[in-house]
Structure formats: structure tokens, C-alpha cells
Amino acid sequence: MNDIVRFWGTMCVDFAYKDWEQGGKKWALRNIKLRTSRKLLFLAGLCMVFSCFRNSDLARPLDPNVDYRVKLQEHLGNFALSTPINIVLWTVLACGLDTEAAQLLDVYEEYLTLISDLNSREYLEKLSERAVYEDSLFLRFRTISHRLQEVLTAICFDKDSEFREFIREYGVF
């Protein structure tokens, strides 16, 4: 868990370093990615750790001939082969948060549709950091990122679930 949280910090520091190194070039695009897809990547890492939380299938076997590490590697390997959105959705649905899963899909689909447009990406790459809060495309992305944050806040902190319990116990302190 500590490594996952450290990874998030590294992504944030990398954002700041690239901003300094490149003199603000591509700031808008990197900012939007940090607020959305990178945040989802971080949450997927937390969800992988959560998949082991109170998981009876991963209990240490009584049989000394069964290698617990292999069992754990196989379990986590399945997640590592998946996409961040699938990992997060698996977690959210496993916790019975169907409404939040649908909201997450809606927001992420809107983000992917917009970010996959080559013209939008190129435009954001060239957009000055000083002009972003007056730019309709950036503000649209920003609204999407705020909606994503609202859904993730509900999943991690607001909705009563085993995931919220896990985040409170291991993800915050």
C-alpha cells in the first residue's frame, strides 16, 4: 500500500518537474491527465491491494506444501493484466456500489471520447497555462475531472462499503 501511495506522489512530483523543465509547455494536457487517467491509475493500485483485504481465498494455507506466494502472485497477476478502469469497476461492483459504477463509466467514457480526439489533444498541448481558465475545451475537461473526483470521493469515503472501511484503515493513516 505504501508503494502505491508513493507512486501517486511520484506522478504528482513528475508533473511539477515537467512543468518546470518545459517552462509550462503541455501543461494543460498533463494537468487533465493527472486529474483523470493518472488518478484512476492510482486508484486501480489501491483496488489491487484491496482485492487481498479479507479475501478468504488468499488465506495462508495450513498445508506447508502449498506456496502462499505463488497463490498471491497468480491473484495479483490477473489484475496486472487488466486495465485500470476494469480493476476499479470490479472493486466498485464487488462492494455493491452499482450506481457509482455507472457514474464512473459515464464520466470516464466522456473523458476518453474527448481526449482521444487528436485535435483536442494537440490543442491542449499548445494551450498556455495562463489561458486555461478562459478556454472552453480546458474547462470542459476540468468539469469532467471534477465529476470524476465526486464519484471517487463517494466510492472511497461517502458510501458505506468494505472499500471505504479498507481506505479508512489502510489508505489514510
List pLDDT tens digits, range 102-119.
Answer: 999 999 999 999 999 999
pLDDT, tens only, 151-164: 999 999 999 999 99
Question: What are the pLDDT digits (tens) for 50-73?
Answer: 998 888 887 777 777 777 788 888
Q: What are phi and psi of 39, to 5 degrees?
A: -65, -40
Q: Which domain holds residue 88?
A: 2-58+66-172
Amino acid present at 166:
F
CA distances from residue 3 to 11, 49, 108, 134 in whole angstroms, order as listed: 12, 11, 25, 37
- Name the domain count of the chain: 1
Cell (9 digits) for 61: 494455507
Q: Are 151 and 104 in contact (CB under 8 A)?
A: yes
